Amino acid sequence: MKDVAFGQYYPADSFVHRLDPRLKLLFLIAFITAIFLATDFYGLAACAGVLLVIVLCSRVPLGKVFRAIRGILFLVLFTAVIQILFNHGDKAYWGGPAVYWEWKIFAVTQEGIVLAIFLVLRLALLVMCSSMLTYTTTPVALTDGIESLLTPLKWLHIPVHVLALVMNMALSLIPVLTGETERIMNAQKARGADFETGNIFRRIKAIVPILIPLLVSSIDRAEELGNAMDSRCYRGDIKRTKYKKLRFGWRDLIAFLLGAALVTGVVLLRVYVGGIL
CB atoms under 10 Å from CB of 169, counted, come to 14
Indicate the domain borders of the chain: 1-137+247-277, 173-236
Residue 32: is its pLDDT beyond 80?
A: yes
Helical H segments across 59-159, by residue range: 62-66, 73-86, 110-136, 139-149
Beta bridge partners of 118: none
- Residue predicted with more confidence, 170 or 84: 84
Residue 48: is its pLDDT beyond 90?
A: yes
Q: How confident is the model at residue 4 (pLDDT cuts 50, 70, 90)?
A: low
Q: 228 by DSSP, 3-state: which? A: helix
